[in-house]
Amino acid sequence: MSDALIGLPIPISFRKLYINGAYTESHSQQTLSIYNPKDDTLVATEIPIADAYDVDLAVTNAETAFNGPWASFTASQRAECFYRLADLLDKRLPMILRLDSLTTGNPVSLIPTREKGYIRNCLLYYAGWTDKMRGDYYPADDGFVKLVRHEPLGVCAAINPFNSPVASLFIKAAPCLATGNVLIIKPSEKSPLGSLAVGPLFEEAGFPPGVVQVLTGDGSTGALLARHMRVRKISFTGSIATGKKIQVAAAESNLKRVTLELGGKSPAVVFDDADLKNAVDWTLNGILARSGQVCVASSRIYVQKSIANEFIKQYTERMKAAATGFGDPQIPETKYGPLADSPSFERVQGMIMRGKKEADLVVGGNRIGDVGCFIEPTVFLNPKDDAEIYRNEVFGPVAVIKSFDTEEEVVSLANDTEYGLMAGVFTKDINRALRVSQRIDSGVVGINCISVMNIQAPFGGKKASGYGREFGEYALRVFTEPKTILIK
């Protein structure tokens, strides 16, 4: 186990599961090891791959918790737990997030500016919702009084991505617990450490044991949760291929509710009247954040022809300069880190190599250094219509730029994809901004911004980017079921 994990000020086990308020030996004999993508050094070994027995044990304890004291918590008691948890995290979260930096490549520079505030705001937001899930009343004009309650589903499971494991944990846990459910968390096999460290903080904040549990493992563990007959809801963030398998498993088992957030190929549409610097800033940050390993990355950029040359000049210069910001993610001054692991690096490198035959490579495309999973910021121009680099999600710092003439043309180009998660429209004409944002097939559209989310407003995709919503009141809805009561 890495020296970086020794001497932590909080008691954590990375060789056990977190079940019913305690670190627990896994029934499974299968384990996995994880590595630091900056230099491929070993970080931790013998992390359990939870098996069917482990999953069933967690589900049984979750059911007990759901039907136990947690069921009698008032809304204000649930809110108090959220507030105490936020206070605990204020001191401990930086260390926990540093754990995941060791295996994801996420720079620790993100912790004070993005991740810590983001997580705290999420908890505080949903703490305020615990007593506001009102129902409905319909008068007895037909002889029946109609009441509608919004009831928790019961045992829920969260299968989280590698790129923001702790933030994803709280994005799913906060609305789940605010509505009275219980949650089993399966972090990515690439980044389980922070999630294991967070587990005990829920009990310390006052949540009863079993309300939140953490099972480590690979895809086999996720499949067991998706097929379990007593899990009532799965919230998954990840690839389309895995999302399809989860949906099938949910349908073939007990028709459990499913929320899927499955990535994107986000178009940024830059009209000739846009504030050019603002457009370059947003599109650049939207592809470089977490080295392009975000679902909302601004990876397709459409620029109106009259300003295309100037936009491309500024954008490519900035992308070239950004290469100097890549480095050791554990150093606070580093802006951008490596890709998450060798398979990710090889996949992105392969797409870039094939892309050279399908588009004009004008920036980057090479490995940075001789060690680690570092890829230069990369820009392609004029892709073929069927180019892989243009059509598929890369999940790396790779952007494709294409010019257009008319509004009709660019709307057609932006929508010519099976993805539909995020988009951006850059223009000073508010009428055009609203008109185009309405016509683009995307769950979220930014006007003069892109690759940004807000905890108050629903977030999710259309088409193959998934369904269901996270954030805001909409996330509460997907963790509850309406019940109608008829009174004669």
Largest CA distance in the chain: 78
DSSP strand E in 256-299: where?
Answer: 257-261, 267-270
Query: Which listed residue (189, 261, 358, 470) is catalytic?
Result: 261
Q: Whose CA is closest to 19, among 222, 213, 285?
A: 213
3 state SS of 451: coil
Q: Distance between CA atoms of 147 and 150, rounded to whole angstroms? A: 10
Tokens representing 360? 């004009």
Q: Whose CA is closest to 304, among 430, 445, 428, 452?
A: 428
261 noted as active-site residue = yes
Residue found by looking up tokens 């009343």 in the block: 137
3 state SS of 45: strand
DSSP state of 357: T
- The string over 388-426, giving b where at least 16 C-beta atoms fall within 10 Å of a residue's C-beta and e elsewhere, is bbbbebbbbbbbbbbbbeebeebbebbbebebbbbbbbb
DSSP strand E in 395-458: where?
Answer: 398-404, 422-426, 444-447
- State the sign of the Cα–Cα–Cα–Cα dihedral 45, 46, 51, 54: negative
Angle subtended at Cα 207 by Cα 161 and Cα 477, rounded to the nearest 5 degrees: 55
Q: Active-site residue numbers?
A: 261
